[in-house]
Amino acid sequence: MSVLVVVECADGEVKKSSLEVASYGAQVAAQLGTTATAIAVGEANEANLAKLGEQGIAKVLYDAEPRLKDFVNNAYTKLIATAAEQEQAKVIVLANSNIGAAVGSRLSVRLKASLATNVVELPKTDGGQFVVKRGAFSGKAFSDVVLSGDRKIIAVKKNSTEAQHEAGKTAEVASFSAQLSDADFADAPKQVVMQDQAGGVLLPEAERVVSGGRGMKGPENWNLIEDLAKALGAATACSKPVSDVDWRPHHEHVGQTGITVSPNLYIACGISGAIQHLAGVNSSKVIVVINKDPEAPFFKAADYGIVGDVFDVLPKLTAAVKALN
């Protein structure tokens, strides 16, 4: 009996959301009186994997098969299922990412496990039940869900749990093979195209986000958003109409039909705060709204607000951040 944590890596680094998941898994293991093992997927660096000890992971399994560098659904499912059987894992924890969702749902059928996605807290395991809290209704509510059966899979929402960190502890890194065949790679991607990220910060993982709406008037004004984002080490985002008219690329569009983000700080500039936009950002810890209309609905969801013109306010904010640093 153990807890198996799926850790996603890219370019040798463990993704931030996977550090959160590792720490979550280690805490669940402690709750259940067992240890947490990780299975690393993607392109990993062994020294970084060993550092997962700092999040409380005892052992990391790693299959260095080069074709596993990019996500391959069938191969990843088999790899993780094999690790789960080897470790006799009763609980499997993944990130609520595109990989986590694609592979977690297949695994739940293969391993006959109950599955909860979008989970925001540690489970409650007292009284013989296993209950997780998850986001529902596009961030407008939460539900406590009872997971039945012998085996459970949990996909943890990004930035909803704090990654614990105990400096200096190391995990054992063990090589692992799921005996993958060519057939397991039949659905491998033919090409992977990375997009330019403003300031190099990935929006889905960002701790701070500066976002612009139609109030920014046109793509030529986005330097104001980018300057503030750069000063804050933030990612940039936008509302749906902005990406619909191609002022910004689709992958920056947040909301009900776009990306869901939950950063520590979300700064909305010239965005009205329609309910569909809020659905993608309302679990941000602190929301700042800049809008020249004092009646803009976004102010109701905000922690801090400035009633003013974005063209006047944004340069002042950027200057103030620069003055801090």
Site residues (CB under 6 A) for ligand FAD, limited to 266-295: 270-272, 274, 276-277, 280, 291-293
Smallest distance, another protein to C-beta of residue 131, A: 6
**Residue 223 lies near ligand FAD (rule: CB under 6 A):** no
Pattern 7-46, another protein, x by CB under 8 A: --------x-------------------------------
Binding to another protein in span 61-90, by CB under 8 A = 70-71, 73-74, 77
DSSP helix/strand/coil, 202: coil
DSSP helix/strand/coil, 22: helix
Cβ proximity of 165 and 269 under 8 Å: no
Which residues, including other chains, have CB under 8 Å from residue 285's CB and lie 6 or more apart?
Answer: 262, 263, 264, 265
**Residue 321 lies near another protein (rule: CB under 8 A):** yes
Smallest distance, another protein to C-beta of residue 266, A: 10
User: Among 290, 309, 315, 312, which residue's Cα sits nearest to residue 223?
Assistant: 315
Interacting residue with ligand FAD among 143, 257, 264, 315 (CB under 6 A): 257
Phi-psi category of 322—alpha, beta or left, where left has phi over 0 and alpha has psi -120 to 50?
Answer: alpha
> Strand 36-44 relative to strand 2-14: parallel, antiparallel, unpaired?
parallel
Binding to another protein in span 188-207, by CB under 8 A = 188-195, 197, 202, 204-205
Both tokens of residue 318?
């950027």
Interacting residue with another protein among 123, 135, 212, 213 (CB under 8 A): 135
Give whichever of 167 and 194 is closer to another protein, judged by the CB atom. Answer: 194
**Alpha carbons within 13 A on the beta-carbon side of 153:** 26
Both tokens of residue 139?
């961030």
Give whichever of 151 and 158 is closer to ligand FAD, judged by the CB atom. Answer: 158
Q: Which residues of this protein are in contact with ligand FAD, per CB under 6 A?
A: 213-215, 239-242, 255-258, 270-272, 274, 276-277, 280, 291-293, 296, 309-311
